[in-house]
Each structure stands twice: as C-alpha cells, then as structure tokens.
Amino acid sequence: MSRKLEEKFPLTKYHIMTTSTDRRFALKKIIITVLIMSISFLFTASCTKREDSNLINISATIFPLYDFAKQIGKDKVSARIIVPAGADTHAFEPRPSDMVRLANCKLFLFGGSETEPWAIPFINSVDNKDMPVIDISQLHEHMHSHTHAHPHNHTHSHAHTHSHAHTHTHSYDHDHSHSHIWLDFDVNIKTVEAIADALSKIDPANAEFYLNNSKNYIEQLRKLDADYRNAIKNFNRKEIIYIGHSSFESFVERYGLKLITPYESYSPNVQPSAKAIATIIDEIRNSGAKIVFHEELINPRLARTIATETGAALSVLHAAHNITKDELRSNVTFIEIMYQNLENLKKALSD
C-alpha cells in the first residue's frame, strides 16, 4: 500500500482496536474500499477527460449520427462514436467501459436494429432508462410507411418534395434496401430535426441555438442532395460496380442509379461466391466500366483482383459507417465524405 493511502487510512488505529482476525477483516475492507474508490476515480477521470460534466454527453453508434450531433450541439455537447475508429459497426460488442460511459449519456443515437443489432441490448443493459433514444430506422419507417402502396401520394412534413421512382431496377433482395438509411439525405433531415428537438428538451435555455444550427445544417443537406441530382443528370452510366457489402441500396434507389455487386448480404464478412465474382467480371467487360469501387475500412483485396482482371481502376465509395483514426483526427465531416463520393462517382460514370 502506498504512503499516500496509508496517510488517508491510518492502519495504527485498527492495530490497537481490533483482534488479529478482526484486523485482517478490517484491512481487507480498507483495501476493497480503496480499490472501489480508485476504480470510480479512474472511470470519472476517463470520462471527464473527454466528456466535460457541463456538456451534454451524446453517444452514437455510427459516424453520421456522431457528426450530426456535433453540427447541432457544437460546443454545448460532447459527442462520441461508441465503436472505435476503424472498427466494424455491424458486429461491434460493447465493452464494460462503454457501459460506464452510457450511464452518463444524455442522448443515444443509432441506425436501427438491422444495422446495429447490438444497440438495444446495450442500452437495456445500463441503468439509464430516462435517456432519450433516436432510432433513425423508425424515422425512416414513419416517412415511408405508405410509400409502396401509394407511390405518388406520399407527402413529407418538410417543404422539400421529391418523387420516388421505386422501379427497383437493382439486383437486391428488397428486404435490406432500407438499411444504411443514413445515406438517404431526406432521412438525415428528419434525424437532424429530431436531434435538435431532443437537445432543446434536455437544455431548453439553448433551444434556439440548436434550432438555428439544425436549420443551417439542413440547408447544407438540401444543397448536397441538389448537387447529387444535378451531377447524376449528366452521368452517361447508371451502373456502379461496387465490391462491398450491401450499403447503398436506398442511395441508388433514390437517385435512379444501379448497383452491381457480387455481395449477397449486408454483412461485410460474408464473402461473395466464385460464381458471383465471375459474373461481375463479365458484366464489367461487357459494360466497359473503367472504375471498380470498394467500401471503406477494409482491405480491398477482392476489388483489386477484379480490377486487375478487367483492367479497371480502383476507387472508394464511402458508406460512412465509421471513420479511421486519421479521419477522426482531421475532423472530417459526413458532408465532406459525401462530396468525395460524388467526385469519385463523376469520374466513374461520366465517360
């Protein structure tokens, strides 16, 4: 035991007052108390280092939600992505330190149980039952619940209107086409409104601040959407050759593009079959596509093989599940990632 702790808990007192058995018990009790105090101190220290107690702690499972929280809360919030930089957001397993942090969390944001199946068990495991939770798949359901039955009659509560073709020309199993909905900029507008609303309830004194920030950010999302639509109008090709797990279905559906991929599921870990790889190589040769896309955060081994085989170049289509440590350090934003995707798509689809 260090001198400091001895000073704090003088042992001599117990030496005098207790029998030998009692003394051992007393000593044990002191050690346990000190250990508990040290552990709680360490946890408090690790939280306060990153999460100032005056700030509103927000936890997000995926990068876009973390970024939205920062854009709206700015210096009044401490936002974090629960999944470590560079790690897979779909198959994440929360650690004990995540549970400690979640106990102090004021707002929890996640992409839905399809993409983050661990999120609901995680929040249920922590005693923080009053914490508001925003599940963006529910926002999406709410927006699109009647779209399929009446494709021309649906309305949105915001001023911006658009038409969904819903022709389903892509080769996907439609069951998964509404996952990864953070790549739908209309859903993002709803998400931003929901975050501003939640922050205004948590911190009513700054409600106007959150509302103004959300309005500014929604303008940026609308501009992003308009820039995509204007660029895509001029594309000569509609097919994106994508060697990655299913992430861009709602995105391609939205912009009338088509995704060609050998992956058959939305798990990054289920490798495509040899037959699917042979088929995509044929499709690239037949279409004359010059660029093969791969997903972020993985070694693009398969994409490189397919590119080499067909003489195509490699490029990234970033689905923004998560970002690397370098991207985190450089404070990259969701909107920047989406504009980089647009540049990469222009190069691939304009020829």
Applying CB under 5 A, the residues found at the interface with Zn ion are 247
CB of 328 to Zn ion, least distance (A): 19
Instruction: Give the tokens for residue 49.
Output: 């280092």
Q: Shortest CA distance to 181 belongs to which of 144, 219, 210? A: 144
Closest to Zn ion by CB, 182 or 210: 182
Closest to Zn ion by CB, 247 or 341: 247
Closest to Zn ion by CB, 59 or 247: 247
Closest to Zn ion by CB, 191 or 310: 191
Instruction: Give the tokens for residue 124.
Output: 């249920």
CB of 174 to Zn ion, least distance (A): 17
CB of 266 to Zn ion, least distance (A): 6
CB of 296 to Zn ion, least distance (A): 10
Return the number of other C-beta atoms located less than 10 Å from residue 149's C-beta: 8
Return the number of other C-beta atoms located less than 10 Å from residue 189's C-beta: 23
Closest to Zn ion by CB, 137 or 247: 247
What long-range pairs does 254-263 form, CB within 8 A, spacing at least 24?
254/164, 254/184, 254/186, 255/228, 255/229, 256/165, 256/167, 256/232, 257/232, 257/349, 258/169, 258/170, 258/171, 259/170, 259/171, 259/172, 260/171, 261/171, 262/302
Task: Give the residue at shortest CB distance from Zn ion.
Answer: 247
CB of 90 to Zn ion, least distance (A): 6
